[in-house]
Structure 1
Amino acid sequence: MDSLLEQVKKRRIALALKQHDMFLRVGISRQQYQRLESKGNPRLDTLELIAKGLKSELLLVPQDKMKDVLAVLADEATTSHEAGHSTEESTKSLNDDPWQGLLGEND
């Protein structure tokens, strides 16, 4: 599993953003953002701001549930990339709620 900073960088690249684009999104200069990606130790509020700028959320996942969470994410990624899914099929998939009970809320 990638470090949190590696995940941030991959997300930025996936959104086709350059480091200097983060200034417009969250007010962090290119130099500050570059330093954060390369060797940063950001404060929590800075990390939350960056996540918001990358259209992402920070989430703590219990270690014993990590494999389940990754499996659900992999399944959703596979499903969303498959061609020919109708809107009805996508809605049905969302209605099935694959996250139900995953984090121990309903155990």
Structure 2
Amino acid sequence: MSDDTRDRALDALHVCEQVSTGCTVAMAAIGGMAPEIHLALDCADVCAAAHRVLARGEGGDAATVAGILDAAVRASEASAAACGAHADHHEHCRRHAEAARACVEAVTAFRTTL
């Protein structure tokens, strides 16, 4: 397992959680974006959980680690698609979609090392 690849995944998960949370707050202030808010909250929560599990290092249950990483990729993909549709007129959605896509890339790269 590459420590560099793991570190990139950890960083991407953390950034995605933070940016997703910020986007959620901004979307709530705008109103009328309930589906996107739900996906962003899922993304933030799953990325935070994946970050905690991955940060523990080796020694955990491999299936649990793989499962939470797969869930983070799925949640990030869904949220990136939803917010990406609003990226041209909401800066917070643009930043969120970018962070979620970067998370997908970093986590997928790490996942292949398991």
Quickly name the TM-score band, shorter chain normalised.
under 0.3
Instruction: Give the structure with higher Rg (CA).
Output: 1
Richer in helix (by share): 2
TM-score by length of 1: 0.28
TM-score by length of 2: 0.27
Q: Which has the higher contact order (CA 8 A, sep 6+)?
A: 2
